[in-house]
């Protein structure tokens, strides 16, 4: 895999620049094009006692479209890349649905990490995005403006999602000065885990990555907290992992490790599903 195009979602009313600057740093790292996308949906009319109290008018729709188009100027000013390397796409549509549709044009998608209940009319729910868009996704926390990815931690377990994450992250892993492949397991699984991470390390080394391995046993702290702590100790600014989740009654539900990382990580996460 190569990274030739990076896509980033921009909230229509956004003023903070974190995930846009991270997307720019990734595009610069790989000399990739950068695609900004933005959308918000028309909220349904509010009806009280049989009377329409709030109704979207043609003027409202015109104003919404103008706001989305105007956001392009802000986006281009922030990224500061040559015009031919930057593209802007927008629509009056649900943000996650629009992003999932447009992601066909990207190798990698960058979004803000807001793992809490979000407004589905204006914001991208990262849980829904990661599980729907079919592209590796970088989740950017608050106050992070750059992704150097010089030291990377891989949260490993021998699953389809983790294998996909390793493959998707290869462009980053090959350029990193240090890649730590970490599996957290029970005490009686250590031999099996060591064999597995050694295989992964050799696989990455054949691709030119500088990979090392580490097997840890579950402790009283959560696995997510332990992995974040180990990443901090390694001086990493990126954790690569599979995303484990499903939809239940319209709600996107994550497994404990995935949810914990999204809640706790103070640096970028790269997830594949």
pLDDT at 203 over 50: yes
Percent of the chain with pLDDT over 90: 73
Confidence of residue 140 (pLDDT cuts 50, 70, 90): very high
Its pTM stands at 0.91
pLDDT at residue 45 in the model:
62
User: Same structural domain for residues 125 and 170?
Assistant: no
pLDDT at residue 256 in the model:
78
Query: What is the spatial distance between Cα 108 and Cα 133, in angstroms, rounded to a whole number?
Result: 10
User: Same structural domain for residues 211 and 131?
Assistant: no
- Residue 26 belongs to domain spanning: 5-140
Surface-to-core class of residue 251, CB atoms within 10 Å of its CB (0-12 exposed, 13-18 middle, 19+ buried): exposed
Across-strand partners of 173? none
Q: Cα–Cα distances in Å, from 156 out to 52, 91, 169?
A: 53, 38, 13
More confident residue, 66 or 179: 179
Give the strand pairing for 238-242 and 151-155.
Answer: parallel
Q: What is the domain-level CATH number for residue 220?
A: 3.40.50.620
25: left (phi over 0), alpha (psi -120 to 50) or beta: alpha
User: Same structural domain for residues 31 and 108?
Assistant: yes
Q: Nearest CA to 167 among 3, 14, 55?
A: 3
User: Same structural domain for residues 205 and 233?
Assistant: yes
Query: What is the spatial distance between Cα 60 and Cα 34, in angstroms, rounded to a whole number?
Result: 30
Last residue of a domain, which of 74, 109, 140? 140
pLDDT at 10 over 50: yes
User: Same structural domain for residues 14 and 134?
Assistant: yes
Q: What is the mean pLDDT of the chain?
A: 90
pLDDT tens column, 229-258: 999 999 999 999 999 876 554 555 556 788
Structural domain includes residue 146: no
User: Same structural domain for residues 17 and 82?
Assistant: yes
pLDDT at residue 55 in the model:
63
In the chain, the number of structural domains is 2
User: Same structural domain for residues 79 and 125?
Assistant: yes
pLDDT at 225 over 90: yes
User: Same structural domain for residues 117 and 237?
Assistant: no
More confident residue, 260 or 135: 135
pLDDT at residue 246 in the model:
63
pLDDT at 52 over 90: no
Q: What token pair was written down for 36?
A: 């900004």
Structural domain includes residue 145: no
pLDDT at residue 80 in the model:
95
Last residue of a domain, which of 93, 115, 140? 140
User: Same structural domain for residues 18 and 124?
Assistant: yes
User: Same structural domain for residues 176 and 110?
Assistant: no
Structural domain includes residue 35: yes
pLDDT at residue 219 in the model:
93
Query: What is the spatial distance between Cα 50 and Cα 140, in angstroms, rounded to a whole number?
Result: 44
Query: What is the spatial distance between Cα 59 and Cα 211, in angstroms, rounded to a whole number?
Result: 57
Last residue of a domain, which of 140, 173, 199? 140
Give the strand pairing for 86-91 and 108-112.
Answer: unpaired
Query: What is the spatial distance between Cα 161 and Cα 271, in angstroms, rounded to a whole number?
Result: 9
């Amino acid at each position: 895999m190569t990274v030739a195009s990076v896509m980033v979602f921009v909230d229509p009313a956004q003023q903070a620049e974190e995930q846009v600057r991270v997307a720019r740093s990734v595009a610069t790292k790989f000399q990739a094009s950068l695609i900004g996308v933005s959308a918000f949906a028309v909220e349904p009319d509010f009806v009280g006692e049989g009377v329409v109290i709030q109704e979207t008018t043609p003027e409202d729709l015109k104003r919404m479209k103008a706001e989305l188009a105007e956001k392009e100027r802000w986006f281009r000013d922030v990224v500061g890349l040559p015009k031919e390397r930057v593209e802007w796409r927008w629509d009056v549509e649900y943000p996650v649905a629009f992003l999932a549709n447009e992601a066909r044009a990207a190798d990698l998608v960058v979004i803000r990490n807001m793992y809490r209940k979000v407004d589905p009319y204006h914001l991208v729910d990262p849980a829904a995005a990661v599980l729907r868009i079919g592209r590796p996704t970088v989740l950017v926390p608050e106050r992070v403006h750059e992704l150097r990815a010089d030291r990377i931690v891989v949260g490993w377990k021998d699953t389809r999602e983790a294998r996909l994450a390793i493959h998707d992250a290869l462009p980053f892993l090959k350029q990193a000065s240090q890649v730590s492949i970490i599996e957290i397991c029970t005490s009686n699984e250590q031999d099996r885990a060591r064999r597995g991470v050694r295989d992964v390390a050799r696989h990455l080394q054949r691709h030119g990555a500088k990979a090392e391995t580490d097997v840890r046993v579950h402790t009283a702290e959560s696995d997510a907290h332990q992995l974040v702590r180990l990443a901090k100790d390694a001086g990493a600014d990126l954790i690569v992992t599979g995303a484990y989740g499903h939809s239940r009654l319209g709600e996107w539900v994550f497994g404990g490790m995935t949810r914990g990382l999204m809640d706790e990580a103070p640096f970028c996460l790269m997830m594949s599903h």
